[in-house]
Amino acid sequence: MNDEVPGQPRVVLVTSPGCHLCDDAREIVARVCQAVDVGWREESIRGNPRLADRYSDLVPVVLVDGSEHAAWRVDEGGLRSALLVRGDD
């Protein structure tokens, strides 16, 4: 069981349209989050100036509990470990 707040997924994937690395990251994030029963959502930098200013050169970016976890490439094992460690608190 996880302790996420309803409506506030623990993982946010920041993406850009047409980004092949984002496509790869989306698959990994979805697979890991499903396996460890953690909510996630995707947010595009398109139409979001705050995200675009901060992350446009780094996408895809994975945020875990509001902190930057990974950029460009997502390590499946690393993401799983980060979610399980936090989930055991």
The reply to whether 4 falls in a domain is: no
> Domains in the chain: how many in total?
1
Q: How far apart are CA 7 and CA 28, in angstroms?
A: 21
**What gap in Å lies between CA 69 and CA 66, rounded to an integer?**
9
Tens digit of each residue's pLDDT (9 = 90 or more) over 53-75: 999 999 999 999 999 999 999 99
CATH number reported for the structural domain that contains residue 55 in this entry: 3.40.30.10
> Is residue 41 assigned to a domain?
yes
Helices and strands in the chain: count of H runs, count of E runs: 3, 4
- pTM listed for this prediction: 0.87
Domain that holds residue 69: 11-87
pLDDT for 2 equals: 38
- Digit-coded pLDDT (tens) for 15-46: 999 999 999 999 999 999 999 999 999 999 99
- Asked whether residue 51 is domain-assigned, the answer is yes
> Is 3 a member of any domain?
no
Judge contact between 19 and 59, C-beta under 8 A. yes
* pLDDT for position 25: 98
In-domain check, residue 5: no
pLDDT band at 89, cuts 50/70/90?
very low
